Amino acid sequence: MEKEKVDKKDHILDVAERVFAEQGYDGASTRMISGEAGVNMAMLNYYFGSKEGVFLAIFDRRISNFQSVLMSIGNDDSINSWEKLDKYLDSYIDKVVTNNCFHIMLNREISKAKKSDLTDQITDIMMKNVNVFLNIIAEGIRKGDFNKDADQQLLVATIFGTKNYIINTPHISSKVLGYDVLDVDVQNDLLKPRFKKYMKTLLKAYLQNENDNNK
Amino acid sequence: MEKEKVDKKDHILDVAERVFAEQGYDGASTRMISGEAGVNMAMLNYYFGSKEGVFLAIFDRRISNFQSVLMSIGNDDSINSWEKLDKYLDSYIDKVVTNNCFHIMLNREISKAKKSDLTDQITDIMMKNVNVFLNIIAEGIRKGDFNKDADQQLLVATIFGTKNYIINTPHISSKVLGYDVLDVDVQNDLLKPRFKKYMKTLLKAYLQNENDNNK
DNA sequence: TTTTATTAATCAATCGATTAATTAATTTTG
DNA sequence: CAAAATTAATTAATCGATTGATTAATAAAA
């Protein structure tokens, strides 16, 4: 049955995504993944060709929808720069917190200092989200909504870096924040609203025209 | 000769630190490390016992000095909170940018979702630096220097996360910033001063009492 | 002469991947 | 519709390669 086959492949990807996040790409063996998924090891190669094929299949499942949502916010001409920033942050934070396993996996592999085909692919994917954000900031500065002295590029490092810190180093961030950032209920009830409010306040303080603390 | 022995062990650790950063702990093989260091593979076990022993030896070499410097800034009673923040950022940014390989290696291993002895050890190390920062912020708020509505914990995520983004995902941050963040000259001439200035401006905008954007 | 350093060879374990055989599902055919 | 033929899914066993680690022998230093 076509439906069950898709479900099974999806189940394997679910498990693989989690195991990759837990152990890293190299640390996760195909035996581990197939074992936890309850399927024969050969099924991974049957469905996805190879271990790397599994990894890339996880990508395909996550990225396309996510990116189109962010881009539509960036291209929305009916709202001003501040509202774009708000909507971008809301969508982005919701998505990355919910799909935390995927983003842990993603960032672990891109944080290899050595270039490879895989790091290049991941870089291209991530740069699309970055560029949407950069365009929002640049537009806001051009229109006079945001402080023209703002360091746009390092602002990218702050928004994505702050998110990475919370999601990708959960042992530390959970200790700092005082609750388990990987717990779904905690994420929805506490983490997401707090993170959104903080990020907006922080960007507002830095980007607003009234502050001239740069001299 | 005692001197040469230390130099040789140090050389192995230098190479291992770089290879771990490039390939990750699991991705880096002992043959890789010994090969690039120009020593017999058995020397790694002779000097450090095991692969994990090499990893931990890299730690011992880096952390103690670094942490005492940061702590002395936090405990310096002759300067006010703003100055402490400035000195902390200066020291911290200098150190992590210079020792980027170590911090790439460090963060790759702590970003495993699964707990282990190693992640616990790394967590303890990192929490010391975090706590110094938290104390500076808390003191500033208590003394009325900083905005009392500030989210101290998420501020931790921002400072360490922004740094991680620049250093740990060099392929992306280099593209965003427009220059190679792993190049030593670029680091000293461009990255460090820019990063310091930005971080201070950002924190000042968020922490200063005059802004009441929180309502 | 004794301790330390270094080497090449080799160990068992694990890795990702493939095979050939078997079962289940689907399609074709009478 | 049912039997036969074909395709798809699944399994256990095994492949060669690589992993971290150890050994016994040798060289250098003390």
| Cα distances (angstroms) measured from residue B109 to each of A13, A126, B21 | 23, 21, 10
Whether this prediction's pTM lies above 0.85 is answered by yes
Residue among B18, B24, B158 whose CB faces A162 most closely: B158
- CA of residue B52 to C1' of nucleotide C12, angstroms: 19
Q: Does the pLDDT at position A37 exceed 60? A: yes
User: Is the minimum CB–CB distance between B108 and chain A shorter than 8 Å?
Assistant: yes
Tens-digit pLDDT profile for chain B (215 aa)?
A: 334 455 899 999 999 999 999 999 999 999 999 999 999 999 999 999 999 999 999 998 998 888 999 999 999 999 999 999 999 999 999 999 999 999 999 999 899 888 887 788 889 889 999 999 999 999 999 999 999 999 999 999 999 999 999 999 999 999 999 999 999 999 999 999 999 999 999 999 999 976 444 43
Q: What pLDDT is attached to residue A2?
A: 34
Q: Does the pLDDT at position A61 exceed 50? A: yes
Residue among A93, A158, A204 with most chain B CBs within 10 A, to mutate:
A158
Burial of A3 (0-12, 13-18, 19+ CB in 10 A): exposed
Q: What pLDDT is attached to residue A210?
A: 64
Q: What pLDDT is attached to residue B210?
A: 64
Q: Both tokens of residue A193?
A: 């609203």
Q: What pLDDT is attached to residue A121?
A: 82
Contact (CB, 8 A) for A191 and A197 = no
**Could you give the percent of chain A with pLDDT greater than 90?**
80
Q: Both tokens of residue A185?
A: 């209920």
Chain D: nucleotides below 7 Å from protein CB are 8-13, 18-24, 29-30
Q: Which long-range contacts (CB under 8 A, 24 or more apart) does B62-67 make?
A: B62/B99, B62/B102, B63/B125, B66/B95, B66/B129, B67/B125, B67/B128, B67/B129
Residue A112: list chain B partners with CB under 8 A. 21-24, 27, 108
Angle between helices B100-110 and B81-98 (to 10 degrees): 90
> Is A194 close to B151, i.e. CB distance below 8 A?
yes
* Distance from C-alpha of B66 to C-alpha of B95, rounded to nearest angstrom: 8
* Distance from C-alpha of B169 to C-alpha of B167, rounded to nearest angstrom: 6
C-alpha atoms less than 13 angstroms from C-alpha of B75 in its C-beta half-sphere: 7
Residue B148: φ, ψ to 5° = -75, -15
Rg of chain A over Cα atoms, rounded to whole angstroms, equals 19
Judge whether residue B42 contacts strand D, using its CB and a 7 Å cut-off.
Answer: yes
> Is A111 close to B168, i.e. CB distance below 8 A?
yes
